[in-house]
Structure 1
């Protein structure tokens, strides 16, 4: 069997277009039958509603499949029929009663057939995503962040990237004298790459990026600049020239590592959102789903409204794209239905509809949705719009679900991840671990150096953990200076060795305060999730192992033993 993912995008879009044309030809024949009934004054109320629904669907989808004239013509007729159809739907009269329709509409309907004679070939208008991996938006861990210092004379930047490497970044230095080698190294890294330079060479670095990397890829290669002048004029000049971030001497290494981390999360995430498409036009819905999926956005189509709520729970989207009219169902009513459940009160709902009347749009928005996109939309516009909205939705979600200091999962959510992993272990039988991790003598850090420095230590450890753990691992701030980790498919011995290596790297970091500096170590307890009936017991076991480690001298890892 041929794997659909290996079929070129333009061929898959062409298949959908062929299906649409075949369906549209059948729909036009049905509409022509309605036109005959109009001529004979035999058009019944239920026929009028069916006619309106066919025209509404055609108006919204024809342009997407390369038939804008057909869509525009259908839209004109739809607008004329809409008041009659809405009056019919609200009427208590027998739906089989004949209804009076202007005779001119019959002729307009028949002319639709002339607009579908020579449909154009589909074009692949959406670029392939840089990486079709699974959802990696939950954190940058597992997405090896690459920091390349680019300079004419790399001596100064060499020491800087050496310091950054301690935070878990993959760092190297490239010279303008060997541009081919620099381009090769940039292109061979699938994760996020940050280009670093000094402010005096910013123009050369941006020119190098523009000349050697595809414009569509610039988002994945932001430029971080370092310099000696922290004045407003200097920062403004660097921003105007195109730098993404600017750091001034003396450099705050934890702050720089944190900023690089956030840039990687924003720019390097392979999955750029999860979108639930609710549309009864299957060809159009599949087209949207295909275009979004191939652009790195995970999409799922719901064609039957009664499946909506179960799909919401199963898919947990960042955004819902929904038609206003779904056959005999109203998208406006479905939006209100979604808001019945508190968990979906903050879920963005965007109507994707051929409705272009501003007053009708506002009325629909007032009943539960957030925005309107008017059909037809181009593939590129759809992708860009969805990316922006998904990114914003995830930012808001992070504000609710993530610790404000570290960006890690909050206490309750990381505990839920232990529950989920325990359930997965029971289904598949694989071993997994939970790790309780704590900073040693942290009260002494706060008392000696201040709570501000204590916050820097906590953020630094959070960044180090994200950069060293796998994409499948989950990290949460359990409370204060304690962290809870979930390591799927990992045996306790391996987990202990891995966390021990992270602890060694963390202990090498020096936190500067004026002319002074200090270092901090960490202790950890590891427990096998599989050994316990409930998640809380596994967490308690890891905490007990941590307690034993503290009493054994700290700065190390202890595995829980029954």
Structure 2
């Protein structure tokens, strides 16, 4: 299948080229509308992927011209999210489908498959020609049940012949169908591929040359094969996908067994490489926008530079989301909107763009989310110990799910009946329950237990999975408080993903809340309402002690009374919002006032929510949980390193500075450690970057296990990590670090090729105030000690020589 991509964004081109090539599609590219139209008219393509906003000739005009000239090639439009008018115009012009930018790669590939199916004679996927069988859904061709080890080009050649079994293809025709314009193969290349295909078919058992040479004309399938298979050529449905085999294009010897999931993983891996290669180009695009802001502040912004900056913002909005930077898309669209404004740009707009660029820079410091950690599910659990109760009489499925949960570090109990589930819950309360609704051998069904679990205080989250799938039952589960609904049959991995989502949501109940109210009775009421939900509470009745309590407790949310002596809730809120470290902390106000002006003052001061007294328990809980969940999502993108699950450099620098100030005020010790994986480049070179990512992910989990919640644990880049420890002795620091080194030595990593290896880590430690009074000087001292540890043989800890 040959696909033409008409797109002017080189990053999107590379993304599509990687993804489509992995699916055996032949890809050609045009980087402007004029070239795209010329190629579309000159070459027979199976599909055109067409950007709406193109230079020289736009996508809609291309669509109209192709349709006016009788071209029936399916066209898929790529269009901006907020440009529905253009989308409608494009469909009216003859486009077959569209995808909004930034696009979801899986959705885009699915739409491409759908359009290609529409262009075929039949929509059913499997083609059989005698004993030869093509299953394009899993990318395999077999002969008499034996899978043929084909290269991508051999696969495409044989597929073309199978789809056109009565047609003779000349060598030049095969070159046109199977090679792109950028490739310059000779007719000898065709003959070499035909020869290789015949050889592989004979090895699989074909007694005659299945690919027949028609002298003077070209090649076609040999109809004698139909006699061997004793059937007519046909296209049919498939029973089940099996493994496919794919080889490197240039060598038949480098064979790689491939499943659909492996292909998707490889696509993600290659896209991560695309991001690394084009990261500098994104920086260049941002530089143009920054230059435009600078000139705007200096009142010398030209119209040309303004348009350039607008175009760069538009391009970034279209492609960053594809790499996993969803929030970046929104920010870039806002920048584009400001620059597109017909109003005269001034100081206010420049400051708005500066703020958006600052947020954008923070997001781009994170790793894109194209490649999940070694286990998506495992990374979601934040390294806590969870208990899962599976209630199902299908023991085989229950045990499969239990095995997946154990790998993710979740303690699992299986109950075959409702009564057994009640006993298990009485013995140990689970964090989540996976519940089947149907128990034919019992007078009770799953709804009975669901009602009991959701009526608890606090309720236990329940994920329902059942073979029944009526809308009435779905509504009933939702009304009773179920957190999810899955229909059997379902893969254990899908179940674990749903469980991960539920556990992530339930993490909000372990948050730390600082409540400030001068009324002891209100504090007691709030304690009674919130404490059973698992929140860690600090109750403060004197606002004069607010700041010290805030810095020592480090809450996830503030609940403030509006009117208090000395300092009002608005005073406290404004102080928090003025400090960069606390400016994003969720703040909820309590007040008996319902006056509109007072409510406006509260929100103007920076409040996130407002609850009136007397307090209604369900309303308060709903607002607290909702605000915490949103805060967690924002914090995850802004502060957490995606691969290791620990704090990133920007956030940790703030935390370290705060602990240093606290150590100074409280006259407490503070230690700063720098850790570095030994010979990490060798691991990447020897075992591959996937193995390196596996090491980094596992080390992140070990670090979270080995240190206290109040310690700062962060990844500063590559294989370098830092730790800040407050209020602890030197002996305790060394003991904790040695424990980390011992734990890491015991871990054995396994590559995809079943090679086993172990890793070690070295560390350097500096002490405040002996080795420095700020993060930078402490880092230098600890880094010097780290290099001493490396020089001394690695896998050890060195204290700063200044100690």
Q: Calculate the TM-score normalised by the size of structure 2.
A: 0.39
Distance 2:476 2:619 in 1: 30
Q: Deviation digits for residues 283-319 of structure 1, max 9, x if unmatched? A: 4345435544454434445555555455544444433
For the residue of structure 1 that corresponds to 2:599, the secondary structure is: helix
Mapped pair 1:210 → 2:466: no
The answer to whether the 8 Å contact 1:433/1:491 transfers is no
Shift of 1:436: 2.0
Aligned to 2:92: none
Residue in structure 2 matching 1:388, options 626, 634, 643: 626
What is aligned with 2:715? 477
| Residue 510 of structure 2 is aligned to residue 271 of structure 1 | yes
State the partner residue of 1:144: 385
Deviation at 1:408, TM superposition (A): 1.0
Aligned residues of 2:453 and 2:459 also touching (Cα < 8 A): no
List aligned pairs for 1:107-126, cutoff 5 A: none
Matches within 5 A, 1:150-299: 150-155=391-396, 157-158=398-399, 161-162=402-403, 164-167=405-408, 169-176=409-416, 179-180=419-420, 183-186=422-425, 188-189=427-428, 193-195=431-433, 207=447, 209-210=449-450, 213=453, 215-216=455-456, 220-223=460-463, 242=482, 244=484, 263-267=502-506, 271-277=510-516, 279-289=517-527, 291-293=529-531, 295-299=533-537
Aligned-pair CA distance for 1:373:
1.6
What is the CA-CA distance between 1:151 and the residue it aligns to? 4.0
Deviations 1:317-359 (A, max 9, x none): 4333334444687654654455444444333333322222335
Assess if the C-alpha contact under 8 Å between 1:433 and 1:492 holds in 2: no
Structure of greater Rg: 2
The answer on whether the counterparts of 2:390 and 2:435 sit within 8 Å (CA) in structure 1 is yes
Q: 1:84-131, CA deviations, whole angstroms, 9 ceiling, x for partnerless residues?
A: xxxxxxxxxxxxxxxxxxxxxxxxxxxxxxxxxxxxxxxxxxxxxxxx
- How far, CA to CA, are the matches of 2:694 and 2:435 in structure 1? 25
Deviation string, structure 1 residues 469-524 (Cα, Å, up to 9, x no partner): 6656653223124444568674646743554334534x24x465xxx566664321
Three-state SS of the structure 1 residue aligned to 2:716 is: strand
> What residue in structure 1 maps to residue 783 of structure 2?
540
CA contact (8 A) 1:198 1:225 kept: yes
Task: Name 1:30's counterpart in structure 2.
Answer: none
Whole-angstrom CA distance in 1 between matches of 2:763 and 2:423: 41
Secondary structure at 1:386 match in 2: helix
- Matches of 1:243 and 1:388, distance apart in 2: 15
Equivalence for 1:496: 738
1:408 alignment counterpart:
646
CA spacing shift, 1:524–1:418, aligned 2, 3 Å: farther
The correspondence of residues 89-104 of structure 1 with structure 2, limited to 5 A, is none
Specify the alignment match of 1:131 in structure 2: none
Secondary structure of 1:362's aligned partner = helix
Find the aligned partners of 1:497 and 1:371 in 2 and give their Cα distance. Answer: 44
Q: CA–CA distance in 2 between the matches of 1:359 and 1:404?
A: 43
- Paired residue secondary structure (2:796): strand
Question: Shift of the alpha carbon at 1:409?
Answer: 1.0
Query: Is the contact made by 1:434 and 1:529 (CA closer than 8 Å) also made in structure 2?
Result: yes
How much is the aligned-residue C-alpha RMSD, in angstroms?
5.5
Work out whether 1:320 is the aligned partner of 2:558: yes
CA pair 492-403 structure 1, distance change in 2 beyond 3 A: same
Query: Cα offset for 1:176?
Result: 0.3
Q: In 2, Cα distance between the equivalents of 1:531 and 1:162?
A: 46
Distance change (3 Å), C-alpha of 1:545 and 1:413: farther
| 1:364–1:415 CA distance, 2 compared to 1 (3 A) | closer
Count of aligned positions: 402
| Larger RCO, structure (CA 8 Å, separation 6 or more) | 1
Contact 2:672/2:779 (CA < 8 Å) preserved in 1? no
Structure 2 unmatched ranges of 5 or more: 1-379, 772-777
Q: In the alignment, does 2:762 pair up with 1:525?
A: yes
SS at match of 2:414: strand
- Residue by residue over 1:35-58, the C-alpha shift from the partner in whole angstroms, topping out at 9 and shown as x without a partner, is xxxxxxxxxxxxxxxxxxxxxxxx
317-326 or 421-430, larger mean C-alpha shift: 421-430
Q: How does 1:342-491 map to 2 (within 5 A)?
A: 342-358=580-596, 360-414=598-652, 420=659, 434=673, 436-438=675-677, 441=680, 445=684, 458-459=696-697, 461-463=699-701, 466=704, 475-484=713-722, 490=732
CA distance in structure 2 between the aligned counterparts of 1:297 and 1:242, rounded to whole angstroms: 22
Query: For residues 17-36 of structure 1, what are the structure 2 equivalents within 5 Å?
Result: none
Which secondary structure state, in structure 2, belongs to the residue aligned with residue 403 of structure 1?
coil
- The verdict on how the C-alpha distance between 1:341 and 1:245 changes in structure 2, with shifts beyond 3 A counting, is same
CA distance in 2, matches of 1:354, 1:436: 52
* Change over 3 Å in CA distance of 1:226–1:421 after alignment to 2: farther
Distance, in Å, in 2 between the alignment partners of 1:274 and 1:299 is 5
> Retained in 2: the 8 A contact 1:439–1:523?
yes
1:156 to 1:410, Cα distance in 2 relative to 1, 3 A: same
- TM-score w.r.t. structure 1 length? 0.53
- The question of whether the paired residues in 2 share the 8 Å contact of 1:145 and 1:467 is answered with no
